[in-house]
Amino acid sequence: MKGRVQHFRSSIDATEQPCVVCATDGSSTSKPLIVEVSPNGTDLPGGMRIAEDIASTAAEHGRQCIVLRPTGRGPGTVYQNYGEVDLLEALEHVCARYPVDRRRISITGVSMGGAAVWYLISHYPDLFAAAAPVCGYCDYRLWEEPSWRSRSAVFLAENLLHTPVWIVHGEWDRAVGGGQAAFSNRWAAENASQFFKARNGGVHRGGIMGETSVELQVADDAELSRETRLGRNLILYGNRGTNAILAEYGERIPVRFAEGCLELLDRRYEADGVAAFALFPHPENPDRCVAVHGGACPDAVCWGSHLDMMLLPDYLVYARGEVLDWGFWNGEWRFAERGHRP
């Protein structure tokens, strides 16, 4: 049996994205689908070998199946956010072209892929019938501070009540525990886009850093067309005095900067070089969002790199490398809780 590289059109950026598919046979008999999510998902030859090995093993035991190896847009996504969109779109691509029994879709992965398995089965319990996470962590408190609660399977254990899970993990696993203003804005945006591509995510801290295949477009705020602005999610750098789009949106983006202080909705933070990264609904498009990374002084956001955070919550307030507060919005885009101030 031979695996194939197939392509589907992504709803994220309208590009053709690859995935590897291998079936034990070409019959029209309805078959279970095994989704494999491991590091180096963009290694198509390697993914081909893995998919073929899984299908061959099934055939040797008299079983039929279809194997899918999505790329997840690179291991830096940990198959979350646009990474999970990639997986779900690849899955639908396969289901439209092969006789997949949707009642028997299972998922497995190793290391980062194991962590992805935990995340996906706890967030999509109605999709996966079974799972086999191999040396993957289910509690993001192992690696990150902010935003771990929304991603950790350990807090969604009830979702796994009807999902058989075969867990493989070493007790002594040390990698994954078993037991000037305009210039500054553009510089920060360009630097962030490269950091995002080269280091977003990460497999094991102190080990292999993640890499993504998503390119972020960097544009001058004063030159961005209205059409582009309306149709895209935006990351705006600076403040109302340095960023034309922020100035135009005004109070519709509820974050205000002043010397030595920052106001986010009804909370006020005072500190030298205080800055914030926060996500808001797009003032002109309910289907898009606007993120703001700005501070009280031009170099405030430069300290964001010192936080070395892999994934972000809905809002994060910091000052010169020290986190002041972070948390998530509720359904009304208000503070969901008292926050996490030190």
**What is the model's pLDDT at position 112?**
86
- Report yes or no on 190 lying in a domain: yes
In DSSP terms, which residues pair with 263 in a beta bridge?
A: 256, 268
| Same domain flag for 211 and 318 | yes
**What is the model's pLDDT at position 301?**
76
Domain count, the chain: 2
- Tell how far CA 49 is from the center of its chain: 26
| Same domain flag for 9 and 95 | yes
Q: Is the pLDDT of residue 42 over 50?
A: yes
- Report yes or no on 206 lying in a domain: yes
- pLDDT digits 0-9 by tens, 219-267: 898 888 889 999 999 999 988 988 999 999 999 999 999 888 999 999 9
Which amino acid does the sequence have at 86?
D
| Same domain flag for 80 and 216 | no
DSSP annotation of 333: S
Q: Is the pLDDT of residue 334 over 50?
A: yes
| Same domain flag for 98 and 25 | yes
- pLDDT digits 0-9 by tens, 107-126: 999 988 998 999 999 999 99
| Same domain flag for 95 and 194 | no
Helices (H), ranges, the chain: 44-60, 82-95, 112-123, 148-151, 181-199, 226-231, 244-249
- Report yes or no on 77 lying in a domain: yes
**What is the model's pLDDT at position 205?**
37
- Among the three residues 160, 193, 210, which one is the final residue of a domain in this structure? 160
pLDDT over 90 percentage in the chain: 49
pLDDT band at residue 310 using 50, 70 and 90 as cut-offs:
low
Q: Answer with the residue of higher pLDDT: 334 or 152.
A: 334
Range of the domain at 23: 4-160
Helices (H), ranges, 160-225: 181-199
- pLDDT digits 0-9 by tens, 184-213: 455 555 655 555 555 444 333 333 445 666
| Same domain flag for 319 and 207 | yes
- Among the three residues 160, 192, 218, which one is the final residue of a domain in this structure? 160
- Among the three residues 98, 125, 160, which one is the final residue of a domain in this structure? 160
- Report yes or no on 336 lying in a domain: no
Q: Hey, what are 26's tokens?
A: 């070409």
**What is the model's pLDDT at position 287?**
92
| Same domain flag for 237 and 315 | yes
Q: Are strands 16-23 and 4-9 parallel, antiparallel or unpaired?
A: antiparallel
Q: Hey, what are 339's tokens?
A: 């926050």
| Same domain flag for 198 and 137 | no
**What is the model's pLDDT at position 97?**
96
**What is the model's pLDDT at position 167?**
86
SS3 assignment, position 75: helix
Q: Is the pLDDT of residue 26 over 80?
A: yes
Minimum mean pLDDT range among 62-76, 128-142, 270-284, 304-318: 304-318
pLDDT band at residue 136 using 50, 70 and 90 as cut-offs:
confident
| Same domain flag for 12 and 150 | yes
CATH code of 33's domain: 3.40.50.1820
Q: Answer with the residue of higher pLDDT: 52 or 328.
A: 52
pLDDT band at residue 74 using 50, 70 and 90 as cut-offs:
confident
